[in-house]
Amino acid sequence: MRFVFYTHSLVSDWNHGNAHFLRGLMRVLTSKGCSCLALEPEDSWSRTNLEKAHGRGYAARFGQAFPALSSQQYGAGFDHRAALDGADVVMVHEWTDPKLIAEIGRIRKEGGTFTLLFHDTHHRAVSAERQIADLMLENYDGILAFGETLRQRYLDAGWGRQVFTFHEAADVDLFHPLPLIERQRDLVWIGNWGDGERTAELEEFLIAPVRELGLTGTVHGVRYPDPAIDLLAEAGLDYQGWLPNAEVPRVFANHRFTVHVPRRPYVQALPGIPTIRVFEALACGIPLISAPWRDEENLFRPDEDFLFARNGEEMQAHMRGLLADPERGRALAQCGLETIRNRHTCAHRVDQLFDIVRQLDGNSAATRGAA
């Protein structure tokens, strides 16, 4: 089978979490003998900012970390119809330009024989509803929503023909424990500051507990304003900026535990959707403490796979407990790793993707037969 993915960027993961999951999907598909190509705009915001901050050499490192993956840039004169000729499945990410989303839909309507999927891994369906409502999705065969609450949002609004819950997952070829690396520091937080969507939460669940307990800690991420960097420094947290996702397992292995602090839209408007950072951390076998979110789909086993903290005081208590009882941390890490390997790898999602494509193709065949 030939897969074509329209993505904001495969090469750059600078403030672009979907690249993590897409790389894992493509790697598994390629291992199964499928042909995979990612198409990304030549002026993508993520790649432009990466190169501005770190130079073109950082983008070139993608090829070293993911030698089997293929990405091609497109500009104004690119022939999308020719690029899709012979494709079996085309997956278009939600960050794609709306005009191009509509154009690909027209190519499908005008004789394209591929299965066309729209992939949403963001919260704009609730935080910027008009932008999603205006997308031309009527020619798409199916919608892949990265959580059940988002799937229901599409169904309730009448966006798209068929909508499937398609959670993100861990690329376990990359994300796995590294037991030979010594855990030298207490805590690591890997995540971006994020447009004020979790400023108060980061202060309550990360900065204040570290300051009160006097922990050693590291913070990686982008778009941190100077006042935020000052707050981290005052708490004793070492801010080290952007971290290429391929280097995350090594950093996890160097720390005793990590925390998850979800953005407010996922907690309030799209409950039940963990970001990919949860899957990746558990896959690396690091104990995880999470700020509140509702696991409405029973993706994990709370208090077995990771610990929930309802407020800053509970976060402090959990941190103190893990440091005092390393065996408890090892048990948490083992349970979390078990859940990932049993349910939440990119291989699991590829199997689900094949099932979805077969279902959509079967429905199309039935429709043609009844015509």
CATH number at residue 140: 3.40.50
Q: Does residue 131 share a domain with residue 230?
A: no
**What is the spatial distance between Cα 323 and Cα 318, in angstroms, rounded to a whole number?**
9
Residue 203 DSSP class: I
- Judged on CB neighbours under 10 Å (0-12, 13-18, 19+), 217 is buried
Angle at 300 between CA 296 and CA 301, to 5 degrees: 105
Q: Does residue 311 share a domain with residue 364?
A: no
Q: Does residue 302 share a domain with residue 214?
A: yes
Q: Does residue 116 share a domain with residue 220?
A: no
Instruction: Identify the pLDDT of residue 364.
Output: 58
**Number of domains, the chain:** 2
Q: Does residue 13 share a domain with residue 132?
A: yes
Q: Does residue 254 share a domain with residue 107?
A: no
Q: Does residue 106 share a domain with residue 18?
A: yes
Q: Name every residue whose Cβ is closer than 8 Å to that of residue 250 and which is 6 or more positions away in sequence.
A: 178, 181
Widest Cα–Cα separation across the chain: 70
Q: Does residue 189 share a domain with residue 230?
A: yes
CATH code, domain carrying 297? 3.40.50.2000
Please give the single-letter amino acid code of residue 117.
Answer: L
Q: Does residue 357 share a domain with residue 339?
A: no
Q: For every one of its 371 residues, what pLDDT tens digit does the chain have, with 9 covering 90 and above?
A: 999 999 999 999 999 999 999 999 999 999 999 999 999 999 999 999 999 999 988 877 899 999 999 999 999 999 999 999 999 999 999 999 999 999 999 999 999 999 999 999 988 877 778 888 889 999 999 999 999 999 999 999 999 889 999 999 999 999 999 999 999 999 999 998 877 778 899 999 999 999 999 999 999 999 999 999 999 999 999 999 999 999 999 999 999 999 999 888 778 778 888 889 999 999 999 999 999 999 999 999 989 999 999 999 999 999 999 999 999 999 999 999 999 999 999 999 999 999 999 999 976 544 333 33
What is the span of the domain harbouring residue 306?
185-343
Q: Does residue 156 share a domain with residue 51?
A: yes
CA dihedral 173, 176, 178, 182 (to 10 degrees): 140
φ/ψ region of 69 (left if φ > 0, alpha if ψ in -120 to 50, else beta) reads beta
The tally of CA atoms less than 13 A away on the side-chain side of residue 311 is 1
Does a structural domain hold residue 103? Answer: yes
For 158-193, the pLDDT digits (tens) are: 998 899 999 999 999 999 999 999 999 999 999 988
Q: Does residue 351 share a domain with residue 253?
A: no
